[in-house]
A and B are shown apart, each in its own frame.
Chain A
Amino acid sequence: MNLELRKVQIKDIVFDAESKIVDGVLHVDPKFLEELVLEDSRVKTVSFDIARPGESVRIVPVKDVIEPRAKYEGGEVFPGLFREDMQEAGEGITYCLKGMAITSTGPIVGFQEGVIDMSGPCVDYTIYSSILHLCMIIEKQDYVDPHDHEEVVRLAGIKVAEAVGKLGFDCEEYDTETLEWKPIGEKYGEYPDLPKVVYVYNCMAQGLLHDSYFYGRDAKALVPTMITPNEVMDGAIVSGNCVSPGSKTTTYMHQNNAVIRELLKIHGVEINFMGIVLNPLMTTLKEKFRDRMLTVRQVKMLGAEGVIISQEGFGNPTTDLMIVCQELERNGIKTVIITNEDAGVDGMSESLPDSVQEANAIVTTGNSNATVMLPAMDKTIGILKEVERVCGGNVTSIQEDGRLLLEIHGIMGGHNLQGNTRLGAVTI
């Protein structure tokens, strides 16, 4: 399985009568994109705006962030969402527009979406402040219920990301990265001196705004499943959840999963990266225990000696994290956890709602309750008032002088749980 990523660097975005990429500048015709989104009759209005790094612009509330991509030889880049005859992701040639994202905004069920500032201290917390955003502001028809509303915005973002991604086809300048992935049997014999490592990829599967989509289907219908890095990097997982913006895994974070990136980098040098087990985080305890068993079984089938687990969510997902870690360690498989912490505003409280003694190697992505004062911005894309309702904000968030007091988990990607963040911790 070989995936060729053709990365077209985008330096700026402008609105134009014609959609094209010229000298790294993305020209987009907003009418073309509006017509595309309005194909869904559940959309009442849609408009587009542009946010650039360094500008005094705030985007709020952000639902999803998606890197524009398209399959050069046909097929869907986010397979399973629009066509029944889906193809496996992770093979062929995929164009990626780097340095930018399609960013959907607009309140859905009122509260769990995040903030991105394009300048000021927010830049120190989230990688999203450093990329260009083509923002999509969607208003739904009155009759559309919250579930459909989420789907409308999710699918519109994906459609636009694919349409914009296709503009890359005419670009002659791009960087090529080839990701090679061999069958397990072949991989098993390689690098006999290096430890075999598997990545357990936790994803939310619990209900509205708490869901992930794997090949177009709700992850609630999933059991723990072996997957390949190539298919993750090629759009097999799409985000349907907004909850806790700081830690939410956006579609962008799936497409650019930082754990997979790092594991691929040291594969064949420090480790033998054997594969990934995608573990849905379900609601009931009996499903959590079943998924623990199935996850650990698959990790063992992959011959793992070491595992990295990345977290998604807060509260009950910490139990999934801990029970899987405990069972892996009991099976002699060394396990490292990546999670954020909720240690209170002063950082002095117990930071995890669940723990086991076997979880003796944890990498933190920061204390999500720590607060940050963000300066007023000249322009807001979306609705500023929503800050009072987003996760991490409250009715006292907006100061009289326009500044914003926010918990870090209100910032999109503020403590991303695959470690794609500027926050972390060091031992001193």
Chain B
Amino acid sequence: MKPLIITNNLKVYDEFSAKVEIVYGEDLSQEEILKMARDRIHLGAKLVIHPMMGRIKPHETPFKSVFLEIPDEREISDGSFTTDMTSVTLIEDSIAETAKLIHNTYRQKYDEQLLSDLSYIDFILIKSGIEEYGR
């Protein structure tokens, strides 16, 4: 297995792309990122971090970074990967929770300072996760 981050946060991409494989899309919505993660989980990926990391709620930030482990080429070629059911449950619950909070609460609007702060917090939480992952 090898690590993979899916993110819409440029700061995460800039800081970690030299070390970790990253799928980055500036315009990806949180729900799109979670669904991309879900599709990969069904193909053998496993969540490293809970997809709703930190305490910031989905309707209060535009940023989303998901940290996965994906099967490496050998595991794909010999078909030795399995589907991690814990990850399946967590990602499905997270997709439902995110949709609920984004569509059924007041929407936040963001100025530049707030965007910069939220991007920083998302980055810090991923950084904590990468540090824990390496233990």
Contact = CB atoms under 8 A, between A and B. Distances in A.
Interface of A: 109-112, 146, 204, 206-210, 220, 241, 243-244, 247, 282-288, 313-317, 319, 342, 344-346, 348-350, 353-354, 369, 371, 389, 391, 394-396, 407
B50 A285 contact: yes
Given A208-B121, A285-B90, 10 more contacts: A146-B120, A204-B55, A206-B128, A207-B54, A241-B55, A243-B54, A283-B132, A344-B101, A353-B52, A396-B106
B129 interface: yes
Given A283-B129, A345-B106, A111 B114 contact: yes
Contacts of A241: 55
Contacts of B127: 207
A344 B97 contact: no
Contact of B49 (A285, A344, A346): A285
Contacts of B128: 206-207, 220, 283
B31 to A, nearest CB: 14
B105 A110 contact: no
Interface of B: 47-57, 60, 67, 86, 90, 93-94, 96-97, 100-101, 104-109, 113-114, 117-118, 120-121, 124-125, 127-129, 132-133
Given A346-B104, A391-B60, A319 B90 contact: yes
A389 B116 CA distance: 12
Contacts of B54: 206-207, 210, 243, 313, 315-316
Contacts, number: 129
B57 A354 contact: no
A110 B117 contact: yes
A313 B55 contact: yes
A73 B97 CA distance: 51
A49 B66 CA distance: 43
B49 A283 contact: yes
Contacts of A350: 96-97, 100
20 contacts: A109-B120, A210-B55, A241-B55, A243-B55, A244-B55, A244-B57, A283-B129, A285-B47, A285-B50, A287-B132, A313-B54, A315-B52, A342-B57, A342-B100, A342-B101, A346-B104, A350-B97, A353-B52, A369-B101, A371-B106
Contacts of A342: 57, 97, 100-101
B124 to A, nearest CB: 4
Given A209-B121, A282-B132, A345 B104 contact: yes
Given A315-B54, A354-B93, A407-B106, A207 B114 contact: no
A316 B105 contact: no
A206 B125 contact: yes
Given A146-B120, A284-B48, A371-B106, A316 B132 contact: no
B49 A284 contact: yes
A206 B100 contact: no
Nearest to B47: A285
A389 B106 contact: no
Contacts of B55: 112, 204, 210, 241, 243-244, 247, 313-315, 317
Nearest to B89: A354
A265 B25 CA distance: 55
A357 B105 CA distance: 27
B23 to A, nearest CB: 19
Nearest to A406: B106
Nearest to A320: B50
A209 B121 CA distance: 8
A288 B104 contact: no
Contacts of B86: 285
Contact of A353 (B48, B56, B93): B93
B104 A394 contact: no
A59 to B, nearest CB: 21
